[in-house]
Amino acid sequence: MKKDYIKIKKALSKDICDFLCNYSMIKAQALAELKRNDFISIYDTRWGFFGDDQVPDKNTYCLYGDAAFDSLLIKLQPLIEKELKKELIPMYSFIRIYRKGNDLKRHTDRKACKYSITLNLGGDDWPIFMAGKKCEMKQGDLVIYDGCKTEHWREPFEGNVCIQCFLHYNEKDENSDKNLFDSRVALGTWSTCTRE
């Protein structure tokens, strides 16, 4: 990429964003109830989980590789390829429902995230910083960046809720079949469903 990032306004419609925000909130509420009633193991992450290495807050819902969000990998792939002028393979999706006071420490991403997208699904606006530059995002806006090289972060969140979806791709090459879908057997499956 020649720039630190590429911003695309209104890449997703308000209707799709609102649907996915509601879907995310329902998934988070369902997980909270399943855990509260001891219906699932504390080690079962198929419904998502609260807090992760980057945002350890136990009120911050996270979800890896869900079919609804993995479908965005396919929907938006032609747009991302056109912007990057590269042929890509989809790796995985991830969402977070950020809460007041959350922040995102400066970091770069792992190898499965060569071309990363952050997509604002809704809630209160919250800028992301890319290579030291503040990038404002409205609902439906996305930002494309080299996740492995571009340092990115967010300052402490002053709003109440912000739902972000992250989509990750790698460039298509001779090793693509080995790491397709972040080595999962298919889109919409969990990290434990890996290829041998």
pLDDT digits 0-9 by tens, 2-17? 889 999 999 999 999 9
Strands 133-135 and 142-146: unpaired
Question: Among 87, 96, 128, 173, which Cα is nearest to 5's?
Answer: 128
Average pLDDT over residues 147-166: 96
Q: What percentage of the chain has pLDDT greater than the value 70?
A: 97
Q: What is the pLDDT of residues 67-117, one digit of tens each?
A: 999 999 999 999 999 999 999 999 999 999 999 999 999 999 988 889 999
Look up residue 163 and give its two tokens: 């739902």
Parse the chain into domains and list their residue ranges.
5-33+46-171
Q: What is the CATH number of domain 5-33+46-171?
A: 2.60.120.620
| Contact present, 187 and 73 (Cβ < 8 Å) | yes
State CA 34 to chain mean position distance: 23
Segment 50-61, tens digit of pLDDT: 999 999 999 999
Tell me the pLDDT of the chain averaged across its residues.
93
Task: Supply 192's token pair.
Answer: 């434990």
Q: Which one, of 128, 134, 79, lies nearest residue 104 by Cα? A: 128
Is the pLDDT reported for residue 196 higher than 80?
no
